[in-house]
């Protein structure tokens, strides 16, 4: 009887553990895009860049990847903003690193784009992740070093986004991130370009992504073949030219970064790349819903 009781207790314990694990893991069976468009800072041509409204619009347009930038504030909070200062994209002035989170939070990050976006705030990293679907790539561009890498990796792990988020960063930030989460995905940004040296360096550091840029040449095809053999995905910064997009996809680039998501999506569709249908996590019940 005692043995049977212990066995029953063990089964109950495993059942509870399994339920808890399901609640902390990303959606089972999520399929991430093999290629498509990366919305640079969200839908930045029509919406204020790096804001929640820009991300939601990029998702609505069917983006396959969204790129956004992360800085540390003076009081070590993670905020999503591109520039080292708040001057260009808010109604404030000063360096992000010299301003507290509360000071940045009081700024208007939308009115500069259009009066209809007045009141948009500079989002936190957590807020940005909270509006993202489970099944698109998240291109998290780190504007800082080792400490930023550590903190960002911690947030991505706690928010269960390790399956889809990768850090576009230099060696110091990558080192900090990997100290926290050894398996976190990295895009090598230490030496951007389209050179054999950049490709070789990316392979040596076992990065998951590379970001080519500069002149589009036939050499891209050779780079793509070499990288894909090692499982490295290829981003390209950046273009809104329909012809360049066609050429990049033909040469093996998987995710060009674009500012004009809506018009670029028409080119993608011509090439057989359909707008991505987002799948969201229901944070309260751990179920998902489709948009």
Report how far residue 291's alpha carbon sits from residue 37's, in angstroms, rounded to the nearest whole number.
19
pLDDT at residue 29, as a whole number? 72
Structure-token pair, residue 64: 């396959």
Give rounded-to-5 percent helix, strand, coil for the chain: 40, 20, 40
Distance from C-alpha of 230 to C-alpha of 172, rounded to nearest angstrom: 23
Torsion of CA 135, 47, 74, 69, to 10 degrees: 40
CB 138 within 8 A of CB 132: yes
How many Cβ atoms from other residues are within 10 Å of residue 261's Cβ? Answer: 29
Tell me the C-alpha distance between 139 and 97, whole Å: 22
218: which residues sit within 8 A by CB, 6+ positions away?
251
Candidates 97, 59, 65, 91; CA nearest to 78 is 97
Angle at 189 between CA 70 and CA 164, to 5 degrees: 60
- Domain for residue 205, yes or no? yes
pLDDT at 21: 33
Buried b (16+ CB within 10 A) or exposed e, 160-184: bbbbbbbbbbbbbbbebbbebbeeb
Token pair for 282: 């229901």
Select from 229, 234, 228 the least CA-distant residue to 255. 234
Residue for token digits 């780079």? 223
Looking up tokens 């993670």, which residue turns up?
Answer: 78
CA distance 211 to 190: 10
Terminal Cα distance for the chain, rounded:
52
CATH of residue 106: 3.20.20.190
Is residue 4 in some structural domain? no
* pLDDT at residue 135, as a whole number: 97
- Is residue 11, in this structure, part of any structural domain at all? no
Cβ(12)–Cβ(19) below 8 Å:
no
> What does each of the 291 residues of the chain score in pLDDT, given as a tens digit?
444 444 343 334 333 333 333 333 345 578 999 999 999 999 999 999 999 999 999 999 999 999 999 999 999 999 999 999 999 999 999 999 999 999 999 999 999 999 999 999 999 999 999 999 999 999 999 999 999 999 999 999 999 999 999 999 999 999 999 999 999 999 999 877 889 999 999 999 999 999 999 999 899 999 999 999 999 999 999 999 999 999 999 999 999 999 999 999 999 999 999 999 999 987 433 444 444
What span, in angstroms and rounded, lies between the C-alpha atoms of 37 and 15? Answer: 41
* Pairwise CA distance, residues 257 & 189, whole Å: 14
Which pLDDT score, from 0 to 100, does residue 25 have? 39
289 found inside a domain: no
Domain of residue 68 covers 31-274
283 assigned to some structural domain: no
Q: Is the residue at 181 inside a domain?
A: yes
pLDDT at residue 254, as a whole number: 98
User: How many structural domains comprise the chain?
Assistant: 1
| pLDDT at residue 122 in the model | 98
The torsion angles phi and psi of 239, rounded to 5 degrees, stand at -160, 155
Q: Is residue 12 part of a domain?
A: no
The Cα–Cα gap between 167 and 152 comes to 9
> What's the confidence (pLDDT) of residue 28?
58
Question: What's the CA gap between 72 and 79, in Å, rounded?
Answer: 6
**CA separation for the pair 200, 197 (Å, rounded):** 5
pLDDT at 27: 55
Residue 19 lies in a domain: no
């Amino acid at each position: 009887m005692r043995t049977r009781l212990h066995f029953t207790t063990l089964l109950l314990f495993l059942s509870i553990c399994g339920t808890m694990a399901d609640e902390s893991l990303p959606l089972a069976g999520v399929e991430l895009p093999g290629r498509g468009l990366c919305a640079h800072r969200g839908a930045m041509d029509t919406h204020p860049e790096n804001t929640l409204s820009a991300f939601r619009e990029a998702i609505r347009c069917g983006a396959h990847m969204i790129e956004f930038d992360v800085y540390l504030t003076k009081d070590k909070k993670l905020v999503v903003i591109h520039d080292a200062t708040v001057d260009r994209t808010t109604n404030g002035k000063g360096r992000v690193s010299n301003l507290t989170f509360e000071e940045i939070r009081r700024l208007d990050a939308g009115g500069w784009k259009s009066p209809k976006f007045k009141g948009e705030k500079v989002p936190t990293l957590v807020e940005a992740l909270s509006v993202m679907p489970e099944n698109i790539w998240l291109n998290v561009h780190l504007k800082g070093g080792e400490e930023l890498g550590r903190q960002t990796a911690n947030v991505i792990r706690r928010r269960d986004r390790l399956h889809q988020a990768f850090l576009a960063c230099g060696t110091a930030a990558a080192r900090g991130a990997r100290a926290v989460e050894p398996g976190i995905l990295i895009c090598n940004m230490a030496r951007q370009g389209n050179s054999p040296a950049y490709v070789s360096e990316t392979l040596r550091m076992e990065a998951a992504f590379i970001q080519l840029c500069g002149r589009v040449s036939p050499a891209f095809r050779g780079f793509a073949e070499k990288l894909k053999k090692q499982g490295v995905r290829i981003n390209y910064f950046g273009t809104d030219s329909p012809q360049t997009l066609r050429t990049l996809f033909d040469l093996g680039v998987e995710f060009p970064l674009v500012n004009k998501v809506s018009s670029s999506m028409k080119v993608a569709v011509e090439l057989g790349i359909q707008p991505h249908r987002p799948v969201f996590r229901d944070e309260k019940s751990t179920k998902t819903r489709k948009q």
